[in-house]
Copies of this chain bind each other. A is one copy, B any other.
């Protein structure tokens, strides 16, 4: 009743560009998606995109910044917690939830690492990954335990991908299973100390 009439859409064009762009980026990849396509699917001109964003890259950057804020907040929060096992479990739990709410973007980043790496956000992505690892691992722990931390994170991501391709059953159930396994893995790392 309120969202799709042309008049009501006034002012939310910027948002709609972001939505459609992410949709296409995730569907076809960043390089394969042209501004023409985005504009066409929106029913506007390419030039209109340039009114709202300075470059193609900036569209992605803006989506990225909007949608990854929760991760930054998670990292900030985690840095103030004690490094207990409970904290680590909570980190994984929150991260898992975040992955769901920004599923398209994370799927996009997973599948377009090469493209993202060349972009200005590449560095940020890498830093954030390292920050996450840093929060999960215990300094001076053996190499296998460090691997376990990364493994736990990747397990959550892997859960999402199974969700994409298998698409059987309840996605939420898959996520819970992945979370359970990830916590299990990190427990191993913690016990070892």
Bin the interface of chain A by size. Answer: 35 or more
Of the candidates B146, B173, B188, the one whose C-beta lies within 8 Å of that of A143 is: B173
Assembly stoichiometry (copies): 4
Within 8 A of B (CB), among A111-129: 111-115, 117-118, 126
A144 near B31 with CB under 8 A, answer no
B residues in contact with A143, CB < 8 Å? 169, 173-174, 177
Q: Which residue of B lies closest to A29 (CB)?
A: B114
Please, how many angstroms separate the alpha-carbon atoms of A57 and B83 in the complex? 49
Q: Which residue of B lies closest to A126 (CB)?
A: B165
Write out, one digit per residue, whether chain A residues 140-153 have a CB within 8 A of any chain B CB (1) or not (0): 00011011101100
A32 near B118 with CB under 8 A, answer yes
Please, how many angstroms separate the alpha-carbon atoms of A182 and B163 in the complex? 21
